[in-house]
Amino acid sequence: MALRTYVQGVFSDSERKSMQAMLARVTEPVSYQAFQHFITHAPWDADRVWRRLRAVIPERRGMLILDGTSFPKQGPESVGVARQYCGALGKIANCQVATTVALWTGVRAWFLGATLYVPDTWLTPERRQLARIPAAVEFQEKWRHALTLLRQVRAAGFALTAVIGDAEFGDVTVLRAVLHRLRLPYALGISSTLTVFLGRPRLVAPVPRGLVSKEYAAKLAKRIQLGRTTPVAQHGTPEDASENVFGQHTTHFATADAEGNWVACTATINTSFGSKVVVPGTGVVLNNQMDDFSIQPGVANAFGLVGAEANAVAPGKRPLSSMSPTIVLKEGRPILSVGAAGGPTIISQTLLAIINVIDFGLPVEAALAQPRFHHQWKPDELKIEKRAGQQVLRELEKRGHKLAPVDSLGAAQAISFDAQAKVFFGAHDPRVEGKAEGF
């Protein structure tokens, strides 16, 4: 009877949800003491209720809506009540807030779960005891509640086609990264104060070099006024932000010594600033080489490469990579160490360097300086350096090639060994800054 009274009271059209107001709205009599005991001794964890509710929802496919639902309160006694942003009033006010999720099928919305947001001010030993908050309940941001509810909904068998939410969730980089890992499309709001240069490189603008320039830093510093705060309506943008950008970046180095030790090492963070995550306290930027997996058949990655099921994400697999650190042997002894940076062009660069040294007999420095070209099937175009010459370009076009002339293609490093003279020759790519050094 107390449960029925509670449900009738909660879903009534009255704005007041106190025990007295609920009892006044129902027709079947129940004692105030029994009703109070039911509410004050109810289990904290409502997972069993939500599991039963999700089990009877007839529609199982749709978009998941993340939301923060607020409940204005007059008094401070209800668990979770605090001075915080109240969406129902559009301002900071005394209220409770719950993180909620609902399934939108295109016709109707099904409520799938809610979690009470408990501010850390409620988690002191004294307030825990008075409110009977279990010791296992710890402070969690609303976006963490949202992720927990999302995982529960997926575990219940719902097929989510997308996730929708406002900037309260969209501003959280970790949440967006998790949705990406789960391969869930999302449409999340972003605050106007959040920089556009944070995010997956395929989904945002390239990162301008000006962000780390001393000139841009000095320009921003001039805006600081020591006597008062300075309003910042929106983020700044360096000069030439759309043209002068950080490139996708891989590094290769080659080394060898008189003891017969040879190294060809290629390292990458894949695209500009990798995943844009730095390991705290180390300065190490994590890569985003998950982009080298095929998201789905026929969909190109950041470098325009197209894959299929064989390169799909799966446990225990490593993504395909164009990195080709190579050591060439002659009669069992190393004579050339070579590799390159430049995404899918790495294979072409490495092969061309080997051909120029081994087949054409060029010194390693001259081999790296030769004009380069590259074709990767899709897109159906031949990238070729303009310094190959107009005659070469015209002849290729006559043969049906669709040309994509570029000023510079890649960056390779190499070491060769003259067995007769017993001398090492090192070369860095003249297209980029670098150095070859012997000790």
Taking phi first (over 0 means left), then psi (-120 to 50 degrees means alpha), and beta for anything else, what does residue 290 get?
alpha
Q: Is 346 exposed, middle or buried, given 0-12, 13-18 or 19+ CB atoms closer than 10 A? A: buried
**Contacts of residue 190, Cβ cutoff 8 Å, sequence gap at least 6:** 167, 170, 171
Asked if residue 270 lies in contact with residue 289, where contact means CB atoms within 8 angstroms, the answer is yes
Distance CA 46, CA 54 (A): 13
Number of alpha helices (DSSP H) and beta strands (DSSP E) in the chain: 12, 15
Distance CA 417, CA 420 (A): 9
The CA-atom distances, in angstroms, between 18 and each of 12, 117, 119, 418, 426 are 12, 20, 22, 90, 81
Compute φ and ψ for 70, nearest 5 degrees: -110, 155
Distance CA 372, CA 353 (A): 9
Asked if residue 292 lies in contact with residue 299, where contact means CB atoms within 8 angstroms, the answer is no
Distance CA 130, CA 151 (A): 31
The CA-atom distances, in angstroms, between 68 and each of 45, 88, 104, 289 are 19, 10, 16, 34
Count Cβ atoms below 10 Å from residue 67 Cβ, excluding itself.
19
Any bridge partners for residue 401, and if so which? Answer: none
**Contacts of residue 350, Cβ cutoff 8 Å, sequence gap at least 6:** 324, 326, 338, 339, 340, 412
**Contacts of residue 217, Cβ cutoff 8 Å, sequence gap at least 6:** none
Distance CA 147, CA 173 (A): 13
Which pair of structure tokens corresponds to residue 82? 């605090």
**Contacts of residue 14, Cβ cutoff 8 Å, sequence gap at least 6:** 21, 25
Distance CA 122, CA 78 (A): 10
Nearest CA-CA partner of 411 in 375, 369, 376: 369
Catalytically active residues, by annotation: 250
